């Protein structure tokens, strides 16, 4: 079978398509013939050596796949060969076949195609944890979603809209019209405008009830200052560590230096909460994640949630997929597809 490997840290072109033996089934697992595999920003950081969780090269990244069950270990019940499924993989997803613990595999509703299914697990689970489990967003509350046009961003927009919140979003200007249609009422071009000034103007100084911030650097401190009393700031990423396709260590150090320290006394005096989320470190909390993903899959099957696919790329073109994300061209999710899949490039973004 073929897989895409990171042989060493570097720009997108280091990604290498290689032929390897298919992975062996182990107790408690199923083997999936992959038809679509989700690309996440963390994969870009991993390729640049900026993602501490990722095993050292050579490594195959990829957190989520959709496909059909090819084999089932004798001790596993509830799955059959040929069944359409979606799975959380935690590395290894950029491949034609993966072996996954059965606890991380979910039946795929018939109304969802493979690319749409592969777009769902990481983005929507993350958004669900941010908005509901940690953010406790209530109807009518004001929420700011940074990177609203990205994979997690659009998932969060859709969940916040279902929750009838008032949505503020930051994104590159070219993404604003689409985001407005998705239900973001107030849009800020964060690369050109002063975000704190814009929020103060738009909220008439009242501030925000919830901020979802994956940027890092000085953005975390700015986001904190935008909170209203009883406001929550959820930190979940450090996109600013990646200044482009090539790693720039000085810029990384500068972003790390600009991270704020939150003092407990200050938090009490301000009546504000700062919360961190890392889905990769919730892997063991399957009893929380599994029902959440089942709910999200059901909502997607009913059409209440509509994952947005920015672009699909054949597995062999993973480097182009990474470059597309670095260049901020995506509106929604980037997905790799394996030949014979239902995948069709939609070309949004």
Ligand X SMILES: NC(=O)c1ccc[n+]([C@@H]2O[C@H](COP(=O)([O-])OP(=O)(O)OC[C@H]3O[C@@H](n4cnc5c(N)ncnc54)[C@H](OP(=O)(O)O)[C@@H]3O)[C@@H](O)[C@H]2O)c1
Residues in contact with ligand X by CB under 6 A are 40-42, 122-123, 126, 147, 149-153, 171-172, 175, 214, 236-237, 239-240, 242, 277-279, 325-326, 328, 330
Q: Which residue is nearest to ligand X (CB)?
A: 150
Looking at beta carbons only, is 1 or 320 nearer to ligand X?
320
What burial letters (b/e) apply to 72-108, b meaning 16+ CB within 10 Å? Answer: bbeebeebeeebbbbbbbbbbbbbbbbbbbbebbbeb
State whether residue 64 is helix, strand or coil.
strand
Output the smallest distance, CB 312 to ligand X, in A: 14
- Residue 57 DSSP one-character state: S
Looking at beta carbons only, is 51 or 299 nearer to ligand X?
51
Looking at beta carbons only, is 39 or 338 nearer to ligand X?
39
| Angle made by CA atoms 39, 291, 41, in degrees to the nearest 5 | 15
First-residue to last-residue Cα distance in the chain: 31
Output the smallest distance, CB 59 to ligand X, in A: 17
Rounding to the nearest 10 degrees, give the CA dihedral for residues 122, 127, 132, 133.
40
Phi, psi of 342 (to 5 degrees): -80, 5
Output the smallest distance, CB 216 to ligand X, in A: 8
The pair of structure tokens assigned to 137 is 């967003």
Q: Do the Cβ atoms of 248 and 260 come closer than 8 Å?
A: no
Provide the H-helix boundaries in 51-185. 114-118, 121-128, 151-162, 176-182
Looking at beta carbons only, is 240 or 247 nearer to ligand X?
240
Output the smallest distance, CB 301 to ligand X, in A: 22
Output the smallest distance, CB 28 to ligand X, in A: 25
Looking at beta carbons only, is 280 or 314 nearer to ligand X?
280
Looking at beta carbons only, is 29 or 239 nearer to ligand X?
239
In angstroms, the CA 136 to CA 153 distance is: 17
Output the smallest distance, CB 18 to ligand X, in A: 24
């Amino acid at each position: 079978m073929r897989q895409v490997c990171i042989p060493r840290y570097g720009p997108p072109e280091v990604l290498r398509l290689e032929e390897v033996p298919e992975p062996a089934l182990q107790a408690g697992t199923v083997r999936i013939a992959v038809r679509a595999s989700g690309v996440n920003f963390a994969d870009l950081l991993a390729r640049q050596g900026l993602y501490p969780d990722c095993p050292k090269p050579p490594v195959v990244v990829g957190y989520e796949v959709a496909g059909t069950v090819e084999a089932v270990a004798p001790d596993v019940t509830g799955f059959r060969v040929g069944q359409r499924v979606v799975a959380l993989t935690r590395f290894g997803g950029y491949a034609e076949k993966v072996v996954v613990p059965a606890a991380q595999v979910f039946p795929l509703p018939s109304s969802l195609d493979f690319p749409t299914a592969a777009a769902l697990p990481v983005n929507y689970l993350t958004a669900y944890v941010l908005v509901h489990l940690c953010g406790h967003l209530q109807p009518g509350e004001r929420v700011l979603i940074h990177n609203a046009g990205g994979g997690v961003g659009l998932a969060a927009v859709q969940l916040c809209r279902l929750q009838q919140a008032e949505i503020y979003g930051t994104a590159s200007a070219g993404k604003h019209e689409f985001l407005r249609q998705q239900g973001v009422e107030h849009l800020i071009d964060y690369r050109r405008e002063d975000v704190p000034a814009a929020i103060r103007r738009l909220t008439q100084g009242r501030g925000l009830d919830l901020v979802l911030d994956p940027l890092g650097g000085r953005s975390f401190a700015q986001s904190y200052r935008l909170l209203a009393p009883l406001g929550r700031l959820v930190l979940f990423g450090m996109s600013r560590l990646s200044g482009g396709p090539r790693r720039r260590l000085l810029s990384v150090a500068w972003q790390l230096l600009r991270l704020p320290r939150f003092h407990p006394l200050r938090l009490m005096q301000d009546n504000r909460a700062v919360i961190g989320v890392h889905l990769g470190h919730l892997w063991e909390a399957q009893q929380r994640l599994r029902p959440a993903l089942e709910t999200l899959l059901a909502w997607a099957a009913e059409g209440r949630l509509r994952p947005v696919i920015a672009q699909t790329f054949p597995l062999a073109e993973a480097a182009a997929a990474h470059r597309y994300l670095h260049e901020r061209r995506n509106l929604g999710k980037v997905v790799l597809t394996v030949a014979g899949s239902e995948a069709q490039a939609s070309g949004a973004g």
